[in-house]
Amino acid sequence: MRRFFLLLALIVVGVLDAAPWRESKNYSLQKDELVKILVKSEGQERVFGFRWTLYTDKVLVVHEIFDRYVGQHMLKLGHTNQSFRKQLLPQKRGPKDVPYILVVFKKFDDSNKTAQIDLFLIDKERRVTLDYLTQK
């Protein structure tokens, strides 16, 4: 009986500890260094790109482009707007099946003027694959 509860506890911990993202990538980027990612989905290939242009007062200005649409984000360390998400495909059944990329500003290294940025792919239904065109 004790083994059963131990096994059940391990399963519950494993399920609760499971990451919501399918893959992740870490970047240490200099100013204006462009990251390009090829997004393959449902017979089409599109490029998602981003770079940062300014860091001041703990705010990082990030520019992104996807499907010829450009955006600018102001990411502030330690606040709720420390990240942005980019939807990759429209929803099929509901909002929980939408694949998206989450870009998170982690820290800024003043000594070598680089921004630490994490990228996460959230895609529960495996509708998207990523090819990292920028190798780092």
What pTM was estimated for this model as a whole?
0.81
Q: Specify the DSSP class assigned to residue 58.
A: T
Q: What is the pLDDT of residues 61-105, one digit of tens each?
A: 999 999 889 999 999 988 888 999 999 998 877 767 789 999 999
How far is the C-alpha of 104 from the C-alpha of 126, rounded, in Å?
A: 21
What DSSP string describes 74-113? EEETTSTTSEEEEE-S--SSSGGG--EEEEEEEEEETTTT
Please calculate the CA angle 34-91-126 and round it to the nearest 5 degrees: 65
Q: What is the pLDDT of residues 21-53, one digit of tens each?
A: 788 999 999 999 999 999 998 889 999 999 999
